Structure 1
Amino acid sequence: MIRVVIADDQVLVRAGFHMILDGTDDMTVVGEAADGLQALTVVAGTGPDVVLMDVRMPGIDGIEATRRIRAAHAPDEPPHVIILTTFDLDEYVYAGLHAGAAGFLLKDTLDGDLLQAVRTVAGGHNVAAPTVTRRLVQHFVATGPRIVDTAPLGTLTARERDVLERIAEGLSNQEIADRLAISEGTVKTHVSRVLAKLGLRDRIHAVIYAHQSGVA
């Protein structure tokens, strides 16, 4: 079972997400929080796999709560945080990614997309494929600071650059494999090398790098 904590200061939002998640066979909500400080306490007490984190909450906001949660765990260890946002909170998305969030969703996302996102990050991956993710990333790479010091793009082989371009399109490993006519295992190897050579933490940062460097 995928254990989930929901952090949002709106009771109806928490109730809605709770109902959707508990209606599945592979997920269970183990805790709820109405503000950032409470989220830290609930996460510490329940040990969830995934946290759905609202941005604007009383006291400690979702960005700071995310930063503290991720600082207490290794990059590949749970809990993984999904930032919840709306279009009028776009300015917080970049900060959320920088704080270590595994991805972000709009609060009015479709039920199926929410469930898929939770499963994706619970598996240790990042939510970078949805159209809204690409649109928001494209918006912020034009104005946001570089997230990390990256090695020159020229360190990539031609195939690795092809893979980076496909990552920037939001394609999954299997989709990249199909597009480039190579195996999924080979794609995983290329993705790992791209991240290592460019000093990037994960696929979301690879998307941002691709746009900042002009690859996408």
Structure 2
Amino acid sequence: MDLTDKISILIERRKVMRKAIITSGLDLSVALAFGKESSLLPLVYCFANPSLIHYIGTDAQSCLDAFTTKAPGFLVCSDELVGGDGFTLIETFKTKHPRTKTFLVCTGLQIDARVHTADWIDGIFYLQEALEGKGVLQEAVIAAVGGHRYRSKQIRSQTETTSALQLKERDYQILDCLADGMSNREISAKLHISEETTKTYTKRLLGNLGARNRLHALILGLRFGITSIAQ
């Protein structure tokens, strides 16, 4: 299978993620804690600059010991760790370093019940989603720096339902256009509707999502797993 055409998408996702981090003012450093060494290297490739990774390990205690004073901007860990688990590590880490944005990666087929209640974790997604190039890491980072919790589409499909949002097909189309960074004029051209109608649909979308503005709608869409960036 030729995946050459995906290179430009990967580059664009990384640009968007980096811009979001820089704008937020957060530290760019990253800590990676994974129970299986074989999962670490593939995940490193998801980052724009591996030199920003200041810690790589397989257990919770060494990760905590590595950051007794200055904390990384981001902590990414697996649900299972050597001698522990990611849920507990993140909860302990957040207590000591509340500004650090934390992400949990589910590595197995069985999802831990704690994903339903782990509000202290900024983002949760499956390892397979990251390795398949679905952009979940980038989406999680964008949502987290905006102050929102993120759960990937696959995670949410097993934990929550978005039926209460009462979105229509046109709402999803508008949301996907917002994810592509389109203006009202570009949206109207793509969907073959007037700019005035585009504004009406966009306003309705914001109301259905409970969003304050277009950016907030995009962040909520990423969080709810009903859109993605750089598709």
Identify the TM-score tier after normalising by the shorter chain.
Answer: 0.5 to 0.7
- Taking structure 2 as the reference length, what is the TM-score of the superposition? 0.54
Q: Distance in 1 between matches of 2:51 and 2:137?
A: 9
Query: What is the aligned residue count?
Result: 162
Q: 1:182 to 1:7 in 2, by over 3 A?
A: closer
- Partner residue in 2 for 1:36: 60
Contact 1:80 1:102 in 2 (8 A): yes
Is 2:138 aligned against 1:116? yes
- Partner residue in 2 for 1:188: 212
Contact 2:124 2:151 in 1 (8 A): no
- Partner residue in 2 for 1:50: 74
Q: Distance in 2 between matches of 1:27 and 1:124?
A: 24
Q: What letter corresponds to residue 71 of structure 1 in structure 2?
A: T
- 3-state SS of paired residue (2:80): coil
Question: Cα distance, 1:115 vs. partner?
Answer: 3.8
Q: Distance in 1 between matches of 2:53 and 2:142?
A: 16
Aligned partner (choices 154, 162, 167) of residue 132 of structure 1: 154
Greater relative contact order: 1 or 2 (C-alpha under 8 angstroms, separation 6 or more)?
Answer: 2
- Aligned pairs (5 A) from 1:147-166: 165=165
Structure 1 stretches lacking a partner, 5+ long: 140-163, 193-202, 208-216
Larger CA Rg, structure 1 vs 2? 2
The runs of at least 4 consecutive aligned structure 1 residues that moved more than 6 Å come to 169-172
Q: Distance in 2 between matches of 1:166 and 1:116?
A: 27
- Taking structure 1 as the reference length, what is the TM-score of the superposition? 0.57
Is 2:43 aligned against 1:17? yes
Q: 1:94 to 1:30 in 2, by over 3 A?
A: same
Q: What CA RMSD, in Å, does the superposition of the two structures yield over aligned residues?
A: 4.2
1:134-168 deviation per Cα after TM superposition (whole angstroms, max 9, x unaligned): 213228xxxxxxxxxxxxxxxxxxxxxxxx8379x
- Aligned pairs (5 A) from 1:69-88: 69-74=93-98, 77=99, 79-85=100-106, 86-88=108-110
Q: Distance in 2 between matches of 1:41 and 1:135?
A: 36
Q: Distance in 2 between matches of 1:19 and 1:182?
A: 35
- Partner residue in 1 for 2:83: 59
Q: Distance in 1 between matches of 2:34 and 2:156?
A: 24
Structure 2 stretches lacking a partner, 5+ long: 1-26, 180-200, 225-231
